[in-house]
Amino acid sequence: MAPTIVMNLRRSVMNPRRSVMNLRRSVINQKRRLSAFTMLGMMTASSFFFVSTPYANQDPENADLFIQPTALEQLRAELTQSLETSGAYDYELLEPLNNLTAALIADESYNEANALIEQQIQVLRINHGLYTPTQIELVKQQLGVLAAAKDWEQIFDRMTYLTHILERSENMPVTDRLAHIKEVRNWSRLLLARGPRVQEPNYLLQLQALEEMALDVARSSLEPGPELQQLIYERALAELYIALGIVATSDTSRQLLSRSEGIETPDFRRNQVITTVSDLEAVFGARASTVIDRSHRNVMNRHQQMIKSLADSAGGDPDDALDELSETDPEQAAMIQLYMGDSVLLRQQYELRMGSHTGPQRGSSAAGSAAGYYRTAWSLLLKAGHTEQALNDYFSCPTLLPAGKFETTLAGLPRRCTTEEETGELLLPDVAIIRDGVPGLRYENLPETGRIGTAAGTLATLQFHVGMNGQPDRINITASVPDNAGARIQGKAALETLQFRPALRDGRPIRSSPVVVKLYSLESG
What is the mean predicted confidence (pLDDT) over 3-9? 30
Give the pLDDT score at 272: 55
Range with the poorest average pLDDT among 287-296, 380-389, 509-518? 287-296
Please give the Cα distance from 477 to 464 (Å, whole number). Answer: 9
Kindly report the number of other CB atoms within 10 A of residue 342's CB atom: 25
Domain-located, residue 126: no
User: To the nearest whole percent, how much of the chain has pLDDT over 90?
Assistant: 57
Domain-located, residue 58: no
Domain-located, residue 490: yes
Of the ranges 103-107, 251-255, 307-311, which is most confident?
A: 307-311
Give the pLDDT score at 199: 93
Beta strands in 129-208 (DSSP E): none
- Residue 402 belongs to domain spanning: 150-522
Which phi and psi angles does 298 have, rounded to 5°?
-65, -45
Nearest to 510, CA basis, from 476, 474, 466: 466
Task: Report the Cα–Cα distance between both ends of the chain, in Å, rounded.
Answer: 20
Domain-located, residue 108: no
Confidence of residue 229 (pLDDT cuts 50, 70, 90): very high
Range with the poorest average pLDDT among 69-83, 316-330, 371-385, 471-485? 69-83
Confidence of residue 440 (pLDDT cuts 50, 70, 90): confident
Q: Output the pTM of the full model.
A: 0.81
| Beta-bridge partner residues of 462 | 477, 517
Q: Tell whether the torsion through CA atoms of 208, 143, 523 and 1 is positive or negative.
A: positive
Give the pLDDT score at 449: 65
Q: In total, how many domains does the chain have?
A: 1
What is the mean predicted confidence (pLDDT) over 421-439? 90
Domain-located, residue 292: yes
Confidence of residue 264 (pLDDT cuts 50, 70, 90): low
Q: How far is CA 73 from the centre of its chain?
A: 40
Kindly report the number of other CB atoms within 10 A of residue 86's CB atom: 13
Decide if pLDDT at 123 tops 90.
Answer: yes
Confidence of residue 513 (pLDDT cuts 50, 70, 90): confident
Domain-located, residue 40: no
User: To the nearest whole percent, how much of the chain has pLDDT over 70?
Assistant: 78
- The rounded mean pLDDT for the chain is 81
pLDDT tens digit sequence for 28-76: 333 333 232 222 233 333 333 333 222 223 333 333 434 566 788 888 8
Do residues 431 and 519 touch, judged by C-beta distance below 8 A?
A: yes
Give the pLDDT score at 262: 66
Domain-located, residue 15: no
The residue type at 107: D
Domain-located, residue 71: no
Buried residues in 142-170 as b, exposed as e (16+ CB within 10 A)? bbbbbbbbebbebbbebbeebbebbeebe
Q: Which residues contact 268 (CB under 8 A, 6 or more apart)?
A: 283
Q: How far is CA 234 from the centre of its chain?
A: 10
